[in-house]
Structure 1
Amino acid sequence: MKKNKFIFLSEKDILAIANNEKSFPKGGVVITVDDGWLSNEKNVIEIAQKHQVPITIFVATDAIEHGNYWWPYITKARDLGMDFPSVKKLKQVSNKERERVVTNIKKRISLERQALDLSQLKKASQSRYINIGAHTVHHPILINCEDGESFREIKNSKFQIEEWLNRKVVSFAYPNGDYSEREINYLQKLNFSSAYTTKPEYLTKEKLQKIYELPRFCIYEGISKAEAICRMMGVWQRFFKD
Structure 2
Amino acid sequence: MALTHQLLAWLGKAFAKNKLNILIYHQVVAQHDVMRPSEPFAEEFDWQMQLVAKYYTPISLSDAIKALKSDTLPDNAICVTFDDGYLNNLTVAEPILRKYGIPATVYVATGYSGGSNMFNDRILDLIGDTQHAQFNLSAVGIEKQSVNDTQSRIRLAHKIIGKIKYLHFDERNEVVDRLYRDNQAQEYDARMMTPAQIQELAFKGVEIGAHTQDHPILASLDVEEQQRQIVASKEALEIILSQPVKHFAYPNGKLNDDYSEQTADIVKTLGFDSAVSTHWGISTVASDFHQMRRFTPWDATPVKFHLRMMLNQLRGEQ
TM-score when normalising by structure 1:
0.84
Structure 1: which amino acid aligns with 2:289?
Answer: I
Structure 2: stretches of 5+ with no match in the other structure? 1-51, 141-159
* Corresponding residue for residue 82 of structure 1: 136
SS in 2 for 1:2: helix
Corresponding residue for residue 46 of structure 1: 95
Structure 1 distance, partners of 2:262, 2:177, is 27
For residues 39 and 229 of structure 1, the distance between their equivalents in structure 2, rounded to whole angstroms, comes to: 24
- Out of 15, 18, 24, the residue aligned to residue 65 of structure 2 is 15
Once residues 194 and 156 of structure 1 are traced to their aligned partners in structure 2, the CA distance between those partners, rounded to angstroms, is 17
2:267 aligned residue: 187
Q: Quick one: structure 1 residues 95 and 42, their matched pair in 2 at CA, closer, same or farther if it must change by over 3 Å?
A: closer
Alignment partners' CA distance in 2, 1:106 and 1:219: 34
Q: Normalising by structure 2, what TM-score?
A: 0.65
Report how many residues are paired: 231
Which residue does the alignment assign to 2:198?
121
Any idea what the Cα deviations from partners look like across 1:34-57, whole Å, max 9, x if unmatched? Answer: 112121123321122222211001
Deviations 1:161-183 (A, max 9, x none): 00001010010011111311121
Partners of 1:73 and 1:230 lie apart in 2 by 35
Report deviation, 1:104: 3.3
SS at match of 1:30: strand
Contact (CA 8 Å) 2:110, 2:212: kept in 1 or not?
yes
Higher relative contact order (CA 8 A, sep 6+): 2
> Percent sequence identity over matched residues?
28
SS in 2 for 1:188: helix
- 1:3 counterpart letter in structure 2: K
After TM superposition, the structure 1 stretch with the greater mean CA deviation from structure 2, 182-191 or 157-166, is 182-191
**Alpha carbons of structure 1 residues 67 and 146: separation in structure 2 relative to 1, 3 Å:** same
The alpha-carbon distance between structure 1 residues 150 and 105, as it changes in their structure 2 partners (threshold 3 A), is farther
Question: Quick one: distance in 1 between partners of 2:176 and 2:226?
Answer: 18
Is 1:112 aligned with 2:189?
yes
Instruction: Decide whether the 8 Å contact of 1:60 with 1:136 is kept in 2.
Output: yes
Pairwise CA distance, 1:94: 4.1
Partner of 1:93: 167
SS at match of 1:31: strand
CA RMSD of aligned residues (A): 2.6
Please say if residues 85 and 107 of structure 2, whose CA atoms lie closer than 8 Å, have aligned partners that are also in contact. yes
Structure 1 residues 96, 124: CA separation in 2 closer, same or farther (over 3 Å shift)?
Answer: closer
1:173-228 CA distances to partner (integer Å, 9 max, x unpaired)? Answer: 11111311121121122111100001111223332xx01110000356xx623564
Task: Decide which structure has the larger Cα Rg and report it.
Answer: 2
